Amino acid sequence: MKKSTVLLFVLAGLLMIPGWLIAHHSEGNYDHDNLWVMKGTITKMDFVNPHVILYFDVKTKSGDVESWSGTTSSPNAMRRYGWTPNVAKPGDSIVVTGFLDKEGRKIIQMAENVINGKSLAISTTAETQLHDYYQRNPNKPPKNYN
């Protein structure tokens, strides 16, 4: 094979990498037009790559209990915001503000949270998403899930 052909294949492969990265970090599956607040009890936390995930139970207005998960950033990024693997334990109370999954799965993209009365930052991306939401919707407070 000619060197130019090999070079062409290598360049084509390198050009595809940004697409893979963007697809992984897409925000498209969350409804950024509606902000929600929900209260719950933490059942588990996965402090692992690629994203820290909190699992929690939420009591609905009708009294049913639903199991939810909240997505955050990578463990490395979360450590910069003061998170550790022990920041949340089963039984801890949590208040989450964020954006729900568009497909109805019980997943919330966390933008703010309070664990046992202590507010913990999530990321500059989350702060930007909240800022953008309030810029687009200055008179639209978060909806209460429960």
Whole-angstrom distance, CA of residue 146 vs CA of residue 111: 17
Contact (Cβ atoms closer than 8 angstroms) between residue 142 and residue 36: yes
Q: What is the pLDDT of residue 124?
A: 86
Locate the domains of the chain by residue range: 28-144
The CA-based dihedral angle spanning residues 89, 90, 91, 96, taken in that order and rounded to the nearest 10 degrees: 70
CATH number for the region 28-144 comes to: 2.40.50.140
The 10s digit of each residue's pLDDT in 7-63 is: 666 555 556 555 444 445 667 899 999 999 999 999 999 999 999 999 999 999 999
For 76-122, write each residue's pLDDT tens digit. 999 999 999 999 999 999 999 999 999 999 999 999 999 999 999 99
pLDDT at residue 106, as a whole number: 98
How high does pLDDT run on average in the chain?
89
- Please calculate the CA angle 107-33-79 and round it to the nearest 5 degrees: 50
**Residue 121 burial (C-beta neighbours within 10 Å; 0-12, 13-18, 19+):** middle
Record the pTM. Answer: 0.81
Q: How far apart are the C-alpha atoms of 88 and 65, rounded to whole Å?
A: 20
